[in-house]
Structure 1
Amino acid sequence: MSLAIICASHNDAILNDNLARSPIIAEGTAPLHLERGAPSAAVAYNRAIDATGAEIMVFAHHDVYLPRGWDALLSRRLRELEAVDPNWALYGPFGVGLDASHIGPVWSSSIGLIVGRVPTAPAKVQSYDEMVIVMRRAAGLRFDEALPGWHMYGTDIVTTARTAGLHAYAGALPTIHNDRYHDHLRGDFVQAYTAMRQKWRAQLPLRTPIIKISKSGLHLYKNRWQDYRSETFRANMSVGISHAPEYLASLCGWSDLSASA
């Protein structure tokens, strides 16, 4: 199984403090393909699809850390997946199940928690947190470059796969997301939400890790109000981004995932 790590990064400091420190990259197990200056995630990732040839493409944010043994555990999880669905399209460490449950586990620095239930088998999902998305090249998927910005593409690519009769899954693949605290949803998120409502109206509602995309669009206003009311509480949950990702992995018991592989 050939593997490539793909990242669209605009900040070398964040990249070097997190993703580039992952043993799979730092020790040369898999190549890191960087995209710079793209106007959207979809454009960046489609460029990377064309520029790389690996069978398995791992699209990762630059503030993600992949603990030691992550690649071996991914191989095991994909073998388990292929046993039940040899034509799988997408896989990830964190997604929203068809029953709206959160599938993990993933550490998130922005909320200071390990999030997501641990499934005993690959779980079908309707969306991903975009922190990490694993794509099987043979599925023939591409990201929609009409989707603006850097949000919602995890929900969009899953919905694209599902409407084509393909499936997306999440499973137990512990990952560190050393993300900074976000106080509220900004204009670029609203723009992506609006685009998704228009594009997938016949498939709504869809649940993302953050929000429900509904035909009425009222959930956007509900979430923004809830964010405003909970801002102090959520800020106090955040642990910041100053901790070394290896330290965060050790706190979670994920210093070396090889034993699980």
Structure 2
Amino acid sequence: MTGIVIAAACNAQAILDANLARSPLLGQGVRLVSEFGAPSASVAYNRMLDATDEPFVVFAHQDVFLPKGWDAVLRARIAEVAALDPNWALLGAFGVGLDGAHIGPVWSSSLGMIVGRVPLVPVAVQSYDEMLIVLRRASGLRFDEGLPGWHMYGTDIAQTARAAGMGAWAGALPTVHNDRYHGALGPDFTECYRFMQRKWQAALPLRTPITKISGHGLHLLRDQWQNRQSAGFRLGMAVGTDTDPAVLAGRCGWADLSACG
């Protein structure tokens, strides 16, 4: 598919090479740009926006794999969203609907399962899992470089679009997230949570894929406690990230998505 570029903020070349860089569409005219060593996701993504000019920018984590034919599915989803909302700005592989439903489908190695329901049509969302977000350049959106670190920018950019009267959507974009087990929500996550509390105070509560952002913040404390209590159970669910992501795609029935638009 012409007109798209894959953009990744990275910290490990080996993970990039084993996953995102192996996606078949990269051998079919779609290019990958990467940024190493950025101080935050927002800074990295804005730099890559400035360094590219394709109409559609796919911001993806380095541990994501896009199965064969994924570009054809993306083309179909873009057409569906444009028909529903000509002023759309964002399209994601996994998002939280306005009703709180999780929209997918995405394979998650850290959870050992496919997560998110499969929508028949694109669904308006209030937040995204940051593993993959498609931005329509004509929207003029940029990431807020005041947001520190590497969390919550999927919620922030979705709310920025909605506040500007532009659509944020999730659709059926079958994607492999070959992510490692996540033990706990650390201080960096809390820092991003507090930033979002302040910035979006008038829009609260907001549901992210991980927690609810509320004015009092008790949801964060609850979810941190639940993560500690469930650490052993979740570790038992996780699948090792050394599995070939193409094999994972095949196990999900996504070996070739060319006819699945």
TM-score (normalizing by structure 1): 0.98
Q: 3-state SS of the aligned residue for 1:258? A: coil
Partner letter of residue 4 of structure 1? Answer: V
Query: Deviations 1:50-71 (Å, cap 9, x if unpaired)?
Result: 1100000000000000000001
Q: 3-state SS of the aligned residue for 2:88? A: coil
Q: Which whole-Å CA distance do the structure 2 matches of 1:253 and 1:125 have between them?
A: 26
Q: 3-state SS of the aligned residue for 1:110? A: coil
**What's 2:109 paired with?**
109
Does residue 3 in structure 1 map to residue 7 in structure 2? Answer: no
Partner letter of residue 20 of structure 1? Answer: A
Q: Which whole-Å CA distance do the structure 2 matches of 1:114 and 1:159 have between them?
A: 26
**What's 2:147 paired with?**
147
Partner letter of residue 112 of structure 1? Answer: G
Summarize the alignment of residues 8-27 of structure 1 with structure 2, pairs less than 5 Å apart. Answer: 8-25=9-26, 27=27
Q: Which whole-Å CA distance do the structure 1 matches of 2:179 and 2:42 have between them?
A: 21
**What's 1:30 paired with?**
30
Q: 3-state SS of the aligned residue for 2:228? A: helix
**Displaced runs of 4 or more, over 2 A:** none
Does residue 222 in structure 1 map to residue 260 in structure 2? Answer: no
**What's 2:63 paired with?**
63
Partner letter of residue 52 of structure 2? Answer: T
RMSD, matched Cα: 0.7
Partner letter of residue 212 of structure 2? Answer: K
Q: Which whole-Å CA distance do the structure 1 matches of 2:29 and 2:115 have between them?
A: 28
Shift of residue 29, structure 1, vs aligned partner: 2.5
Q: Which whole-Å CA distance do the structure 2 matches of 1:195 and 1:240 have between them?
A: 33
Query: Deviations 1:189-244 (Å, cap 9, x if unpaired)?
Result: 01000110011111000000000000000011100110011111000000110100
**What's 2:206 paired with?**
206
**What's 1:232 paired with?**
232
Q: Which whole-Å CA distance do the structure 2 matches of 1:34 and 1:17 have between them?
A: 14
Structure 2: which 5+ residue stretches go unaligned? none
Query: Deviations 1:151-195 (Å, cap 9, x if unpaired)?
Result: 000000000011111110001110000000011101110100011
Q: 3-state SS of the aligned residue for 1:169? A: strand
Q: 3-state SS of the aligned residue for 2:44? A: helix
TM-score (normalizing by structure 2): 0.98
